[in-house]
């Protein structure tokens, strides 16, 4: 029986590739338009080829030439975790994010040409809920017309081994089974920040602005003097900007009178709850509940990677903000592993 193999479209730093590999899937290649991701991807996924392609400008036949794929391969998985800025509620500049709007259609061209046995899609929930969005509906129609069964839902990754309240749209599809369902998640009360961060988990206390020149990258962003005062005035273990909203020196003018909005910005994580969604700006104290539960700083690069379930020996390349983007955009490897394990079980039934 052939092993499963995969092509990871929009692979980024390789979270999906790494997780699928851990499940036992042979990931032949990762494809991404960002050449800056190549070094990180290749350092950690040595058996997978990195193709620096813009899929909007690439014909499917080129993948056949590059990787020697066959059409109608029941053992082939196509993974499409396209950049999601357009559909994300976090992003407000839809013009700058418009490139990402129809990437699913370009992915569909490759699926249509090769007809792989399995398909995995991961994206933000907004791709499903957006009014007048025909991109996903058209993809469903395409799958139905081409003999694919599919199942999709917005899942909480905390039920799939990830210590975050990260909600994501996930779809699995197959033309090899009459019916396919998403893997079922399982509640695990151990998936909280306390069990991943802190000195007993390898994270020595550091100040804001600390630079770690080792591969561990326990590096934290610097804070302005005012933000240092703000985080020092924020209660440990889950405090918010409400702690200093009445202090005229510390109050952020744009949030004045908006106590019921943007409640998590300038906040600290809770020790005994899952982390919030690790975004591309998780290294910034002012961009969410990314303050360390106890120390006066935002969480470090490696702490963000740990909460994304990257192993501690996963090597990242780039400047601070580039690495934060690579980590925040990634599919958590543990989620990818569980999806890969599920598909392997279905194939071998």
Separation between Cα atoms, residue 93 and residue 77, nearest integer Å:
33
Tokens of 277: 């969604």
Helix 103-114 × helix 60-67 angle, to 10°: 60
Tokens of 339: 């999806």
Angstrom distances, CA of residue 118 to CA of 111, 114, 137, 162, 220: 10, 11, 19, 24, 40
Separation between Cα atoms, residue 22 and residue 344, nearest integer Å:
12
Give residue 94's Cα distance to chain centre. Answer: 20
Q: Are strands 76-80 and 118-123 parallel, antiparallel or unpaired?
A: parallel
3-state secondary structure of 67: helix
- List 11, 81, 84, 176, catalytic entry: 84
Mark whether 84 is an active-site residue: yes
CB 176 within 8 A of CB 118: yes
Residue position matching structure tokens 């961060």: 197
150 conformational bin, left if phi > 0, alpha if psi -120 to 50, beta if neither: beta
Separation between Cα atoms, residue 265 and residue 277, nearest integer Å:
13
CB 169 within 8 A of CB 88: no
Q: What are phi and psi of 8, to 5 degrees?
A: -100, 95
Residue position matching structure tokens 């338009």: 33
Catalytic residues: 84
């Amino acid at each position: 029986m052939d092993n499963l193999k995969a092509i990871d479209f929009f692979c980024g730093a390789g979270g999906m590739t790494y997780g699928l590999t851990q499940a036992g899937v042979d990931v032949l290649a990762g494809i991404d338009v960002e050449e800056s991701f190549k070094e990180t991807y290749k350092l950690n996924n040595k058996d997978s080829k990195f193709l620096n392609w813009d899929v909007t400008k690439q014909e499917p036949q080129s993948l056949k030439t590059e990787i020697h794929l066959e059409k109608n391969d029941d053992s082939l998985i196509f993974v499409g975790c396209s950049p999601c800025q357009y559909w994300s509620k976090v992003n407000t500049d839809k013009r700058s994010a418009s490139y990402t709007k129809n990437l699913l259609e370009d992915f569909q061209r490759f699926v249509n040409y090769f007809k792989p046995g399995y398909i995995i899609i991961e994206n933000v929930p907004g791709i499903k809920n957006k009014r007048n969005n025909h991109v996903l509906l058209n993809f469903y129609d395409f799958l139905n017309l081409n003999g694919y069964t599919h199942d999709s839902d917005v899942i909480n990754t905390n039920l799939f081994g990830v210590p975050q309240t990260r909600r994501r749209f996930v779809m699995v599809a197959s033309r090899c089974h009459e019916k396919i369902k998403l893997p079922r998640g399982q509640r695990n009360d151990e998936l909280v920040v306390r069990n991943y961060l802190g000195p007993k988990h390898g994270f020595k206390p550091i100040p804001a602005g600390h630079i770690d020149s080792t591969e561990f990258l326990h590096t934290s962003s610097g804070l302005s003097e005012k933000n240092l005062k703000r985080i020092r005035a924020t209660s440990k273990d889950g405090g918010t900007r409400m702690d200093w909203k009445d202090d005229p020196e510390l109050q952020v003018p744009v949030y004045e009178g908006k106590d019921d909005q943007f409640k998590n910005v300038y906040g600290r994580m809770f020790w005994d709850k899952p982390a919030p969604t690790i975004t591309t700006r998780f290294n910034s104290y002012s961009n969410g509940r990314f303050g360390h539960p106890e120390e006066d700083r935002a969480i470090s690069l490696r702490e963000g990677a740990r909460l994304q379930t990257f192993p501690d020996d996963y090597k990242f390349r780039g400047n601070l903000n580039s690495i934060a983007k690579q980590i925040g955009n990634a599919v958590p490897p543990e989620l990818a592993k569980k999806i890969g394990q599920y598909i392997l079980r279905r194939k071998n039934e």
